[in-house]
Structure 1
Amino acid sequence: MANTQLHILVVEDNPADARLVTEYVSEADWELTAVESPTITHVDRLEAARDAVTDDIDAVLLDLGLPDSTGEDTLDEMLAAVDTAPIVVLTGLDDERIGADAVRRGAQDYLVKDDMTSRLLQQTLQYAVERHKQQQQLQRRNAELALLTQVVRHDIRNDLTVILGWGDSLKEHVDENGKTYLDRMLRAGDHISSITETVGEFLTVIEDGSDPELHPVNLDSVLANEADKLRSSYPDATLTLTGATGDGTQVAATDLVSSVFRNLLNNAVLHNDKAEPSISVHVEDRGETVVVQVADNGPGIPDQQKDEIFGRGEMGLESSGSGIGLYLVDTLVEMYGGDIAITDNGPEGSVFTVTLSTWDDEPPA
């Protein structure tokens, strides 16, 4: 920000407060950086503020209590009007909570008028401008990465369709030994396809960034569909489904809840060391909650890895977690206000226990 002249839009209807803010902003001694004395545009109405927004506005100092708008509506209107500059909310001494709420709604920062000093105001403005620039850069990079991921996933799935199609055609032209290797190849291809689907679902979750709007989802139908998919993809595996109510148990979730159980079921097969993996799914309706247990006969999970396997606290190449699938499972269950835990399955294997809230017209907070 060195050798930069800021353009500040001050939206304040109290003449004394506006004059004080202007004096503080106009002082030549900007200690943190070599910022020249800023240009100030002052308005006292929301309508005038919207009209004053231009591309060269670097920051907005906004009083929420204006003659033509008050409170959250004022902030929402300004957030809609300006997306190239940060908004710093000005509050009274008794309205500090409102300032904190404003930050959660999208303001970059807030200042309590009675506590404001020239240095504090200058610091807040400079930090707000710098943070906003960094956020915009991050958003652009995220958008570019999301587009790249979409293109890569599309190309991978197209090539896999060709590979799997030719692989199916080869079944009639290979001997029994060849079929064993061909089946492994086709199974690996199905797994790669599943990974691309999981990555897409994961991006949907993290790109939204807001709390999901939960709605009733038929859990019995979800489990039955995912069980059929597993049996089709892994014919050597045995899967039993018990305890389903049959009357359409409704849980508070989103359509992505199917990804929770698809990833748990696939994980139970892919990380199984048996020639014939065995998976059992048991559903128990406990009134306000539904508990789903997914048990397998695999090698089990050491106690010290039972929490880390979801990637909690660390993700990346050095993570001891089991990959993006289980990380997505943990993320979705938490978003739904549920819980997931791992226990041992005697005499061998693991049990993943998922607890979700039933839908009763009032989803969990």
Structure 2
Amino acid sequence: MTASLSETLTLVLIEDDDGDAFLVEELLKEADAPPRITWARSLAEGLPKLTADVQCVLVDLSLPDASGLEALEQVLAAAPHAAVLVLTGTSDAHVGVAAVQAGAQDYLVKQDITARLLVRSIRYSMERRRTQRMLVKAEVSAQENARLERGLLPVPLLSGDTIEHTTRYLPGSQGALLAGDFYDTVQTPDGSVHIVVGDVCGHGPDEAALGVALRIAWRTLVLAGRTGDVMLRTMDALLRVERKAPEIYTTLCTATLTPDLTHAELRVVGHPPPVLIRDGVVTAIGEGPSGPPLGIFHDAEWHAIDVPLGEEWSLMLYTDGLIEAAVEQDQLGVDGLVELVREHGHVDLDRLIRHVGTLTDDLAVVLVQRRAP
């Protein structure tokens, strides 16, 4: 039966035995598309022939100027793009196994080679090498994307240790590091502490990119002293420019703590209400939002909610992934979250997230706490 190669290959054979080299060449002539073969009698002669157009290398492990894995290592280094098969004698079959472990795609015992076996081994080896290269590229790309995404996550700008600041960020998409949820914390020179937690509707890379853009815009505006409604209107305008579809909107909650940390000014923009623990009492702040989400109404207005904090308190801002978690087949909801915090007596984010059960959406949480002096 005629052996089959689906394309004409460029192959380098490094073999010092004339008879073995002649056998390989004759066997490959039986292929449907015989490869172009370049023969070298030594490693020194063969290495310069391993150019970028070479797709496969057959190398004997018993050469006059190199033997065993030494020869293989030099071939692999010189031709990282090519599939490499090693040729062994019957008594050296164990060396062939070691060669595969060291990076060769396959090995053949010379005495057992047939045209069909040789062609099939070449074809499979090239496919394995192609797959390996794709996996390496995918891994490198994934690592680069992970570094990029980690670099886009915020580092809080806080001076001193007057408050405890804890965050958790869990994208709903498996394998992702970023989602449409975003958060940030910035302390301005006057001592005020500004916090934001937001949620871009939808899931995917476009929403994640938009979330990053909105977070960076928020930080820039706060550092420039543009807060309150001015900041919200600017972010609303940015959202309309950057979003991929007109139906995409964003909810968010902002908190500005006074320099003495005894009051907070909140804006709940179509977002779940923050949870406050003060004097042992757990409440969801505000009976309703300050106004609609960003990106819906051009003439929207948002009113501030003033909240006395006192000397000792805990304030938690979060996205709806927390309250939409499934607890005993029901969503937790704001009331359920308040009750859960009340049962715990304090907020431990890891324990809280474990307790709420299965998360069905992205999650971002910022917890700030102040202990009594």
Greater relative CO (CA pairs within 8 A, separation 6+): 2
TM-score, normalisation: structure 2: 0.46
Larger Rg: 2
Give the alignment's TM-score, normalised by structure 1. Answer: 0.47
Higher normalized helix content (fraction of residues): 1
Structure (1/2) with the larger strand percentage: 2
